């Protein structure tokens, strides 16, 4: 049995396939023991670069920055090829324009939600930092708690957290994908050199995760039971989440990278100055495709 240490960001629906792979014995059948580490808003760069983690299923931004600086990190597969977040605000706030002066919860200043917040707020005439503040909260479960506590006024919330918040009277101000239609949200990231030294295990992991993702698409009841247990959700919310994530193909069934979505991430990083103007614009320059290719041709 080979051990792989895999980082995840939070207990959100994106990770149902990894939990399904464990419960259905797909990792064990591939000769793997997969151990999860919760990162929250901690950087994935050092754990991957040092070898403390073999893989991270998380945002691609840090990997892009590391690769552009000559570092060893690369994207080895896709995972979540579009956004599935909604704009959830305190009940008193009924329009995006009402967020002037608000505090907005984000994962971090260098990844994901910060750039989405800037895009959607700019579409309504609000600019950062003059018109609103941001607060690093970690992933969706932490933003949910921050909304409940009132320490943030708005947060981008993934399904099914948004369902809980709607029931509690929070304002759902719309689907983020309306503002950001193309975005590679989560990728499977690795230190390419370490991944090559552990090629058999990494390839086996990708093959098992692809099978698990396909299994999730075909087993509504069982996948919903896993999500409800792992995320401590009502079964009805887990079922509604399955309908959304599979009906909108949010989970990438074949683990391929969305080239248009990754190109949008690269462009946002350049615009924010987090990638130099000289950084490659071609998504292929940040991807090590050989592991996913091998997983499809064992």
Domains plus CATH for the chain? 2-82+183-296 (3.40.190.10), 85-178 (3.40.190.10)
Per-residue CA distances from 260 to 64, 181, 290, 293 (Å): 15, 10, 20, 20
Mean pLDDT score of the chain: 93
151: β partners: none
Residues of the chain with pLDDT > 90, as a percent, come to 82
Task: Give the 3-state secondary structure of residue 173.
Answer: strand
CA distance 227 to 236: 11
- pLDDT score recorded for residue 128: 94
pLDDT digit string (tens) for 27-81? 999 999 999 999 877 889 999 999 999 999 999 999 999 999 999 999 999 999 9
Provide mean pLDDT across the span 285-291.
97
Q: Which residues of 3-21 are buried (b: 16+ CB within 10 A; e: fewer)?
A: ebbbbbbbbbbbbbbbbbb
205: β partners: none
- pLDDT score recorded for residue 298: 64
CB 213 within 8 A of CB 251: yes
């Amino acid at each position: 049995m080979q051990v792989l240490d895999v980082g995840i960001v939070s207990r959100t629906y994106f990770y149902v396939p990894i939990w399904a792979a464990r419960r259905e014995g797909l990792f064990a059948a591939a000769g793997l023991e997969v151990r999860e580490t919760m990162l929250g808003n901690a950087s994935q760069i050092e754990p991957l670069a040092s070898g403390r983690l073999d893989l991270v299923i998380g945002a691609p931004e840090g990997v892009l920055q590391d690769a552009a600086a000559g570092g060893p990190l690369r994207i080895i597969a896709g995972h979540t090829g579009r956004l599935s977040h909604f704009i959830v605000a305190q009940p008193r706030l009924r329009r995006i324009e009402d967020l002037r002066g608000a505090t907005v919860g984000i994962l971090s200043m260098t990844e994901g939600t910060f750039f989405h917040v800037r895009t959607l707020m700019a579409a309504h005439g609000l600019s950062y930092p003059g018109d609103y503040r941001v607060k690093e909260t970690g992933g969706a479960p932490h933003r949910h708690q921050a909304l409940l506590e009132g320490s943030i006024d708005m947060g981008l919330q993934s399904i099914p957290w948004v369902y809980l918040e709607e029931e509690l009277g929070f304002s759902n101000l719309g689907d983020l994908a309306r503002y950001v239609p193309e975005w590679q949200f989560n990728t499977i990231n690795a230190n390419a050199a370490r991944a090559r030294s552990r090629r058999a295990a990494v390839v086996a992991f990708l093959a098992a995760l692809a099978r698990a993702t396909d299994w999730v698409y075909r087993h509504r009841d069982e996948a919903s039971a896993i999500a409800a247990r792992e995320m401590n959700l009502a079964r009805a919310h887990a079922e509604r989440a399955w309908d959304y994530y599979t009906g909108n193909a949010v989970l990438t069934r074949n683990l391929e990278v969305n080239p248009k979505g990754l190109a949008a991430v690269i462009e946002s990083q350049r615009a924010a100055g987090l990638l130099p103007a000289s950084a490659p614009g071609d998504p292929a320059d940040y991807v090590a495709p050989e592991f996913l290719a091998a997983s499809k041709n064992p």
